[in-house]
Structure 1
Amino acid sequence: MALKINGLGTANPPHSISQTRAAEFARTICCENEEQARLLGVLYRRSVVTRRYSVAIEAPITAEGDSRSESSLEFDRDNASNNHSVGVQSTVEQSLYPPATDPSDRGPTTAERMAFYERCAGPLAVEAATRGIENAGFEPAEITHLITVSCTGFSAPGVDLNLIRECELSPNVARTHIGFMGCHGAINALRVAQSFVDANASAKVLLCAVELCTLHQHYGWYPEQVVSNALFADGAAALVGSAGTEGETRLPSVVATGSTIIPDSTDQMSWLVRDHGFEMSLSALVPSIIEEKLRPWLCEWLAEQGLSPDEVRGWAIHPGGPRILRACEQALNLQRADLSASYDILRRYGNMSSPTVLFILEQLIQTDNALPCVMLAFGPGLSIEAALIR
């Protein structure tokens, strides 16, 4: 049975930062010399990202050179002698990331970062879920199953309890958590949601993915982490679904999901808990591996659904970065315009990990001729997760 998408909702923290300002801030925690500062600027400019939202930003400040009044950072250049980093001393309107004191400084501990997660993840998830339920036209008490998704923090009681309490769900709602699966976690959750409506045609499922990626900004000059610093952002997205038969309704529906592990690629990507935050590693070979391996598997999986890549009208591909999107273009013989929604979400919001594909889907289904749509995301393994929406 298909998972009918009754409603979607998205949310971001209240304050954001332009990529130009983010690069200036990053110099205070990453760079030890002018050459590193120059390279950092290049990486940030090449990211495609123009703005990101973060729970670490505690107040909006109008800063010269930032295009919106909710820009997040201001810099005090008068006290630069107190900072080993090149360029600027930040008086950032945030308390999580002080400037690095020396090259061995690794920033706040994981416990300090998780304190932010405990405080901020629940309210952001509630905002997205409230919108999703309202857009679905359901009463909160009608929700029978709750699926939460996150890979950027842990706490118990957790986000699921926040959602039950603040959204006024039934205390008897069946809870499931999809944890630490990375950027494709929302697709794993769609698979679980589809299984629930397969088993119970009266089920109404609330899926909510929330990620606070900016809690894991890394100190020091480690190129893989600098790239992650340039891309990661915070956001939440919710989907409300129920049972539906393909073709019986005008509402888009998840009709199939697929998954595969690329052989001999385990060491190409990781997401690990460390003493000073969670650490992302991403080999420079990942785009070339995707370019080589994606199409054969996807063609086989789509053929099982009676489709070929040429018949897909909408592509909701997780923007792990511009190189990942370009690899997908090459692998699937697509034009940049075919991935315009993915590029647009990356540009306006950054890489929010698991909620990102739902942001893209929300944009796509508001346009004509976006179905059938294929959702794709990649994660440690290397793994590929896919969903087909008709």
Structure 2
Amino acid sequence: MCGNGGNPARALDTSRMSLLGSLTASPAASVVRQMRQAQRADGPASVLAIGTANPANCVRQEEYADYYFRVTHTEHLTKLKSKLNRICQRSAIKKRYFYHDEELLQNHPEFMDRTLPSLDARMDIAATAVPELAAAAARKALAEWGRPPAEITHLVVATYTGAHMPGVDLRLASLLGLDPSVRRTMLYMNGCSSGSAALRVAKDIAENNRDARVLIACAELALINFRAPDEAHMDTIIFQALFGDGAGAVIVGAEPNGSVERPVFEMVAASQSIIPKSKHAAVGRLTEHGLVFNPSFEMPALILKNIEQSMNDALGPLGLNGCWNDLFWAVHPGGRAILDSVEAGLQLESNKLAASRHVLSEYGNMSGSTVIFVLDEIRRHEQALPDMGVLLGLGPGLTVETMVLRDTLS
């Protein structure tokens, strides 16, 4: 039987398809398509400038255990102090920077005493300190970019140090003198993968909004997780041995203006995936005592086992899988064991993670901003880069953020 055979549903579907065809072919649909095409950039996004910043207070890793147990008034916990000393010695970190100093800590005994709520005090400090640190990094990126701050069209800010309404983004926009019409996006609680996630979001914005110039700012303070040692909470010792404070900023845009803009890296492709059965490996939550973060000892092993498959999935469609040593690598230095796992899992030559290991040594793990420091290190100090490379973020989930980059300076 021809036609719809008396089937009302099929007749309705036919009518809808006919209507859709009419709309698609209508002058209005053509105008919408033209508008959409005009809105999009013709080329891929690029990194146009990078800036980094740290607080002034610097503590050398060899001195950190003495410093930490002194300021927390817990020098009687000799076994924990010895354990922290051993972790610090094996960490491959030389020094770290902190917003908090001894004076600030002495004025806030609640930061050391687990029986006292301290979240409000931590949030009050973060409300001012986080945007100011982010602004210090952003000003360096803006100076390198060479265009007025008012020409920034979008702002993407990532942090887990603080949760305010309005947020860090609004305060940062004011500090930098951005235009009131700047379109702001806040990323909270993405942990160590937040810098990579912010770059992915900026790429999408720049490529889908012609003439967009996106400022990314990532800033973290270890103060959100600072507390006195406790034998019942070994996660505290691990955090104290690895994390420091820092901010990274990047300006992203497509179709660079050759007269004033010099692209550093072209952002070829971006993807995100989750390592199977790893949700327990890096978990945290805000409590009345600040951020409680519980990294699992399984993280390095999970990364070692799964990193090659993750890279094959991300880079395979581009024909880049397998030839890992033909690429440059900007890997988030979450810790020495994390870098060792990536290196072993991909069978990388020892020099491939030199920039990540240098940043870990000089600054420690600054969460999401750290990978921006690595990217800055690569473009400033590594000569004769391969044409193509990978920016790799690793965070709670375990989340793997992958961005393929093309070096435009070599």
Displacement, 1:368? 2.3
User: Separation in 1 of the partners of 2:346 and 2:211?
Assistant: 38
Are 2:53 and 1:40 equivalent residues in the alignment?
A: no
Matched-pair contact (CA < 8 Å) for 2:167–2:186: no
Matched-pair contact (CA < 8 Å) for 2:264–2:379: no
53 and 145 in structure 1: CA distance in 2 versus 1, 3 angstrom threshold: same
Match of 1:163 in 2: 172
Displacement, 1:2? 1.9
Match of 1:322 among 328, 331, 336: 336
Unpaired runs of 5+ residues, structure 2, are 1-42, 257-261
269 and 251 in structure 1: CA distance in 2 versus 1, 3 angstrom threshold: closer
Displacement, 1:97? 7.5
- Greater fraction of residues in helix: 2
Match of 1:188 among 194, 197, 200: 197
Are 2:224 and 1:224 equivalent residues in the alignment?
A: no
Matched-pair contact (CA < 8 Å) for 1:213–1:353: no
35 and 95 in structure 1: CA distance in 2 versus 1, 3 angstrom threshold: closer
Counterpart mapping for 1:62-73 below 5 A: none
User: Separation in 2 of the partners of 1:270 and 1:31?
Assistant: 29
SS in 2 for 1:281: strand
Match of 1:200 in 2: 209
Counterpart mapping for 1:341-380 below 5 A: 341-366=355-380, 367-370=382-385, 371-380=387-396
Match of 2:49 in 1: 7
Give deviations 1:189-210, integer Å, cap 9, x for gaps.
1111111122112111111111
Q: Which runs of 4+ in 1 moved over 6 A?
A: 97-102
User: Separation in 2 of the partners of 1:191 and 1:218?
Assistant: 33
Displacement, 1:187? 1.3
Structure 1 vs Structure 2 CA RMSD: 2.3
Matched-pair contact (CA < 8 Å) for 2:111–2:118: no
Counterpart mapping for 1:97-176 below 5 A: 105=114, 109-176=118-185
Greater shift, 134-143 or 371-380, is seen at 371-380
281 and 324 in structure 1: CA distance in 2 versus 1, 3 angstrom threshold: same
Displacement, 1:311? 5.1
Match of 1:53 in 2: 97
User: Separation in 2 of the partners of 1:208 and 1:101?
Assistant: 27
Matched-pair contact (CA < 8 Å) for 1:214–1:232: no
User: Separation in 1 of the partners of 2:311 and 2:83?
Assistant: 36
Match of 1:268 among 281, 285, 292: 281
Q: Scaled by the length of structure 2, what TM-score is found?
A: 0.81
SS in 2 for 1:172: coil
Matched-pair contact (CA < 8 Å) for 2:53–2:137: yes
User: Separation in 2 of the partners of 1:101 and 1:292?
Assistant: 38
Match of 1:19 in 2: 61
Give deviations 1:249-285, integer Å, cap 9, x for gaps.
8631111111111222211210211221101111111
Displacement, 1:343? 0.9
Give the number of aligned pairs: 353
100 and 368 in structure 1: CA distance in 2 versus 1, 3 angstrom threshold: same
Greater shift, 156-165 or 225-234, is seen at 156-165
Give deviations 1:75-126, integer Å, cap 9, x for gaps.
xxxxxxxxxxxxxxxxx33336867999x74576111211221121111111
Displacement, 1:218? 2.8
Unpaired runs of 5+ residues, structure 1, are 58-91
SS in 1 for 2:355: helix
Match of 2:249 in 1: 238
Q: Scaled by the length of structure 1, what TM-score is found?
A: 0.85
Match of 2:37 in 1: none
Larger Rg: 2
User: Separation in 1 of the partners of 2:215 and 2:77?
Assistant: 49
292 and 358 in structure 1: CA distance in 2 versus 1, 3 angstrom threshold: same
SS in 2 for 1:354: helix
Are 2:105 and 1:95 equivalent residues in the alignment?
A: yes
Q: State the percentage of identical aligned residues.
A: 31
Match of 1:74 in 2: none
Displacement, 1:31? 6.2
Matched-pair contact (CA < 8 Å) for 1:126–1:162: no
Give deviations 1:136-164, integer Å, cap 9, x for gaps.
11211111111111112222333212222
Matched-pair contact (CA < 8 Å) for 1:97–1:107: no
Give deviations 1:39-62, integer Å, cap 9, x for gaps.
1211111111111111112xxxxx
Displacement, 1:356? 0.4
Displacement, 1:337? 2.1
25 and 100 in structure 1: CA distance in 2 versus 1, 3 angstrom threshold: farther
Match of 2:25 in 1: none
Displacement, 1:175? 0.6
Match of 1:336 among 339, 350, 367: 350
User: Separation in 2 of the partners of 1:166 and 1:14?
Assistant: 20
